[in-house]
Chain A
Amino acid sequence: MSNRSLLKGIVVAGGVAAMSATAGMAQDVSFEGQRVEAIVPFGEGGGGDTYTRFIVRHLAPHLAGEPTIVVRNIPGGGSVNGANWFGQNAERDGTHIAVASTSTTLTYAMTPDDDRIAFNASDWVAFLASPQGRVVYVNSSTGITSLEELAGYEGDLFMGIQSPTGSDLPSLLSLALLDAPITPVFGTSGGDQHLAFERGEFGINADVASAYIQMAQPLVDRGVAVPLFAFGYADENGNIQRDPNFPDLPSFVEAYEIVHGETPSGPGFEAWKSMFFMGVMASKAMVLPDGVSEDVVVAYGAATEAMLEDPEFQAEAAAFIGNYPQLTGDAARESLRQATTISDEARQWVADWLMESYNIEL
């Protein structure tokens, strides 16, 4: 815990330093007449793309010199292709930014030995991190109404998972730690997961908050779905609290206590915490490449702060980023750092668990 309080100190001090620096230095950098490219390592139309287009549209008018920011999609390899491009080719003068989302941080942290990876996400400088909660819910046809009933459920409980090593991994791990007897059906994309859940073929599903509100909340209102828990939200001390958007749902830590009667600990929970940062706290982040000058970081920091205060941004924000407090400055960097690091012991634990449970190699 001493690490955490130290961390808090750094965050606060950094924040103050950044703010005082903002006033004096932001004038030094100007992007006037320049064209800034935002790299999206996915094709058009996905979550990462929509998020980036929303952010850059509101960010551009607040950046010194009001540059044009254009989105460049570089899809392929589950974001590895675009992230590699950004790692190798990005200009270090602030004219290249990128979005880092769960698939990027997860691939980077969980498979460090994959020689396809030629980028260093932990050195990227995040200037905005947008948390996005996750909610787990069951089909009311299963009869499950509580976490205890979930852990003691007898019968088939199918759950659609896109890829065992992709962005659904945090949900899969959470349910394993809660002893939920689920049978994952791999290779099922998000849209198919929802339809199959609504048809009753799948008994359980997990959603990021925005998708939950759009697609699962109507089912909950109709009595088709029952929410069980949300992952939660980390406070400044790194403690997991209830998700501010779902104050009635227990956090994962509470859920663990309900099921096991004790607070979670051990390498499994360490792995969960890393994935919590990958999947929730730094679900999406806007980043500058490593080695970018401090002036540029300050300019982007100031623009981001101004954007978050902009009433026009606030009016539209709910649909894109939910009502979560946005992390900026050092808090954003720290969040990305957490999302890109996992201890060797925890990683090994995940690898062993995947191999043992599903015969799948990480």
Chain B
Amino acid sequence: MDAILGAIVPALLELLTPTHLAMLGLGVVFGLVIGVLPGLGGIAGLSLILPFTFDLDPSLALAMMVGMLAPLHTADTFPAILMGIPGTSSAQATVVDGFPLARKGEAARALSAAFSASLIGGLFGALVLSVAIFGAQSVILAMGFGELMMLTVFALSMVGMLTGSSALKGVATCGIGVLIGTIGGAPATGEFRLTLGTVYLSDGIYLVIMGLGLFALPEIIELLRRRSTISDTGKLGSGWLQGLRDTIKYRWLVLRCSALGCIIGALPGLGGSVADWITYGHVVQSSKDKSQFGKGDIRGVIAPEAANNAITGGAMIPTLLFGIPGSGSMAILLGGFIMIGIQPGPSMVSTNADITFLIIWSLALANVVGAAACFMIARPVSHLTVVPYGLIGPAMIVVIFFGAFQATRGWADFFALLAVGLLGIYMKRFGWPRPALLIGFVLSNGLESSFYRVAQVYGWSFLERPIVLVIVALTLLSIAAAWRSRAKVAFHGDAAVGPPLHLRLPQIGFTLLIAAFVVMVIVEGLQTSYLGRIFPLTAGLITMGLVAWVLFNQLRPRMTLDLTDQEATSPDTVHGNAYFLTWLFGFLGAVALIGFPIAATIFIFVLSSVQTTVSKWISAAVAFGVFTLLLTLSYFLVLDYPNGLIEEFLDLPWWLG
């Protein structure tokens, strides 16, 4: 043990040499750029820098790789708060309160709180890694199938906190998320469910597309309709110190959420994309005044940001100890370890402890450097929120199409994004909570396969395991808390009468469409084998009951919380959703004709010229900037954008489509 502890200081001294610092810094710059771009995360970042690491000394390569991973979840906060676009999948929960804060003109405060919480989360993650890695082996091995299944159920119970005003709709939405998650190969039999005969759907819908479609696309279209700036006040706010004060004020929340993030990252099976939602659920649950969540509560930013930076430290634990990656980016990091000659395993805490400490120090230092860099560029970047949105929106549409394209790098990604975006737009309009859908979706697969495993290996005897019982108790507490905190709104007098039937027809129609999807899942489920259908059928029947209940409430003449139609309450816009959806279809048509980069450039120029009164030259400059960005990314990521018909007549270079 002395020999191991003796490795701490030399590892730090090694990292503090100029070459190591330079490599770490390079990694951090990479990480910041990758984090800001939606659709690109740790996987893309690592595969970009892997080729450079081959010829490096292993410790230099490590500093660079870890340096890239550490600031990802600090940088992904920029688009989440400023644009409502999750920069990586772990920033989805940040959008829920971060973006409303930017709309209220408090972007500066939100960013500064997020970065400081991120910094603490990241440092905490590194600290936990350095202590826990010596005892984590037995803890990870104590978490069997039963424990992992109950953890998934516990995570699912957080949905109770993410339901919005109507609890019934929230739980129904979660069920729909679970059903969407069953699309693709059945874990137990490999049968394809609801794939409509396509290769694309056989892997299910990709998380990046769900995130961008549900959150980013609806927000962009709403902002375009308003023809204003992101900040409603047109001001930035001078909240830098306020944000720091927020983090200090909620210091225990920051530490709790960092710890949660670390644990979730370290446990195989749950995955980092759940951590931000679990901590978001936690902060809502543990707060007395819940009225501002979803409308711009700073705690809703602090909690997921503290967690998502701590994940990286936690996720390193199984990667280093067992050689088993807990996430996609850890898988490629593991590949990188092997390429530079590091064999993960128990030796990482004995003979190779020096490497482990080098990783830990790199993680800590990269978090500090990354957060500092974000603070420095935050002020100029947040000016985007006071620029007319007609100028930014079209470019953002192209950027999220680019992000969605990273899923499989094919045309189908565009269609999937449009389909999910359409769902998101109407869920938003009719008050179906999108976070609830996402948490159901993310947990669906894990729930199904862990359910089979427990049934096969343990049967009911899994309830005899003590850790399972602890998690069961936590889950019951979480559900009870959700039950107690649900909004008790009673309608009296005139308010008790709902809008007339013809005004309700749009939302009733949407509910019917959802019901049709559920029926489709059930009918399709009947055609698969027993093991392939038991889960979607069970979830489908429960969801059907909930949706039918919503429908019943919507049909009755009384006013209920299940009735929401934003169009009916805020019609003060020039164009409707359909107008902008037509633009999107037009864009895809143009891509089919002239290829993605050129079509994107023209789309940005034309739409921003129509939407704003600023000089055509500025629109052209924005369009050209995005064009350059697309080509640069295409070159370095070896992306082949969709070709247009023009390719048939002109021999364009590959990076131009």
Contacts and interface: CB of A to CB of B under 8 A. Distances in A.
B457 A81 contact: no
B334 A45 contact: yes
B188 A45 contact: no
Nearest to B449: A187
Contacts of A84: 199
Interface in A182-232: 183, 185-188, 191-192, 194-196, 198-199, 201-202, 214-215, 218
A279 interface: no
The secondary structure that dominates the A interface is: mixed
Interface string B539-562: 000000000000000000000000
B529 A320 contact: no
A194 B190 contact: no
Contacts of A360: 189-190, 529
A192 B50 CA distance: 26
Interface stretch (A8-16, A161-169, A283-291, A324-332): A161-169
A245 B449 CA distance: 34
Contacts of A188: 449, 453
Contacts of A322: none
A76 interface: yes
Contact of A199 (B144, B200, B449, B456): B144
B200 A81 contact: yes
Interface stretch (A48-56, A132-140, A173-181, A253-261): A48-56
Given A37-B638, A54-B339, A215-B323, A158 B456 contact: yes
Interface residues of B, number: 59
Interface in A61-104: 70-78, 80-81, 84
B43 interface: yes
The interface residues of chain B, by DSSP majority, are classed as helix
Interface in B521-544: 529-531
A310 interface: no
Given A70-B638, A185-B452, A81 B408 contact: yes
Contacts of A158: 456-457
Interface in A273-328: 319-320
Tell me which of A57, A73, A191 has the highest count of chain B C-beta atoms within 10 A of its own C-beta. Answer: A191
B640 interface: yes
A76 B140 CA distance: 31
A211 to B, nearest CB: 9
Interface string A332-362: 0000000000000000000000000001110
A69 B269 CA distance: 35
Contacts of B268: 191-192, 195
A49 B202 CA distance: 20
A97 to B, nearest CB: 14
A49 B335 contact: yes
Interface in B446-480: 448-449, 452-453, 456-457
Given A49-B332, A158-B456, A214-B345, 16 more contacts: A44-B44, A44-B332, A45-B43, A45-B47, A46-B331, A72-B638, A77-B200, A116-B199, A163-B190, A185-B452, A187-B453, A192-B269, A194-B324, A196-B144, A201-B145, A215-B324
Interface of B: 43-44, 46-47, 50-51, 54, 140-142, 144-145, 185-191, 197-200, 202-203, 268-269, 322-325, 328-329, 331-335, 338-339, 341, 343-346, 408-410, 448-449, 452-453, 456-457, 529-531, 638, 640
21 contacts: A45-B329, A50-B335, A54-B339, A70-B638, A72-B638, A73-B47, A76-B408, A78-B203, A81-B408, A116-B198, A116-B202, A164-B189, A164-B190, A165-B190, A188-B449, A191-B268, A195-B322, A196-B144, A199-B141, A215-B323, A360-B529
